[in-house]
Amino acid sequence: MKAIYKQMKEIFEKLAEILEVEEVNPTDKFEDFDEWDSLTTLSIISMLDSDYNVPITSNQVKKFLYVNDLIEYIKSKK
């Protein structure tokens, strides 16, 4: 359980870095971030693939409304 919590915390930190904000929360809407664009989508795809071995397409990422949607997707692939 602690390993999952640590990994989710790490993902939140990496998402915050990609989105250029202090922190992200599960209830944050992706479209509310100023940095939410196609380059951000590619950065998320790259991070998930290289750091977590979780494959995802840009179309899948674009369908996520909330940060938690992405987190649930990652959990489903582990």
CA distance 55 to 5: 21
Structural domains of the chain sorted by starting position, each given as residue range(s) with its CATH number in brackets:
2-77 (1.10.1200.10)
- For residue 1, what pLDDT band results from cuts at 50, 70 and 90? low
With H, G, I as helix, E, B as strand and everything else as coil, classify residue 66.
Answer: strand
Q: Which two tokens stand for residue 70?
A: 């992405």
Can you give the pTM of this predicted structure?
0.88
Within 10 A of 15 (CB to CB), how many other CB atoms are there? 22
Q: Which two tokens stand for residue 54?
A: 């979780």
Residue range 15-74, pLDDT digits in tens: 999 999 999 999 999 999 999 999 999 999 999 999 989 999 999 999 999 999 999 999
Is the CB of residue 67 less than 8 Å from the CB of residue 27? yes
